Amino acid sequence: MMKLYYHKGACSLAAHIVLAWIGAPYELSEVTFGDPAYLKINPAGAVPALDTGEGWILTQDAAILRYLARRFPQAGLGGDGSLRAEAEIDRWSCFITGDLHPAFFPLFSPKRYTTARDDAALAAVKSAAQELVRKRFALLQDHLKGRSFFLGDKRSILDAYVFPMQRWAGSMLPEGLSPWPDVKAHHDRTAADAMVQRALAEEGA
């Protein structure tokens, strides 16, 4: 059986949602960052990590999502199999991994991005990060306009991948998702999904 190592509220929620969508049996193990026992599983200390149930462990969210889509093609979460769909999944996975997700890092840990420790300096770091997050969400808005899902009219791993970051923006930006109506609609549609609600309940989120 597969086992997902996750942290409540983290991007590991994406892999949790995909596991729920697939419908195959899985176990969950909540981890604490910096826990020596978890560092033996994933020396990078990040979540998620997936015990594939095949004698090896896979890390990195985007890689886990792609692996699950390929291992369980019957779930239809990897696009239509066309070269273009594959490219779109790769493009947006790279965007979420490399551009959107890191934009939030200074909001979570502003002390990593300045040697100053006064409140004004830390507030400035957070303010700059919020502006960067807004730029990233403007790109998402342009893409999702007129679309129900990232790849058109059918859900994919991308819809799960972006969902945790939509939740972060909803709570960490003063305006929430209101400036990006199609992003908000996408979030709300995902949040209403029964399996997404199951994953959130399982994490106590």
Whether the Cβ atoms of residue 15 and residue 61 lie closer than 8 Å to each other = yes
* Helix ranges restricted to H, 23-173: 36-41, 61-71, 83-95, 101-103, 105-108, 119-144, 157-172
Among residues 151, 147, 143, 140, which one has the least CA distance to residue 89? Answer: 151
Residue that the structure tokens 């979460």 belong to: 77
Whole-angstrom distance, CA of residue 107 vs CA of residue 127? 8
Q: What is the pTM of this model?
A: 0.96
Q: Residues 88-122: pLDDT tens digits?
A: 999 999 999 999 999 999 999 999 999 999 999 99
Residues pairing with 30 in the sheet: 6
> Tokens at residue 135, please?
């730029």
Average pLDDT of the chain is: 97
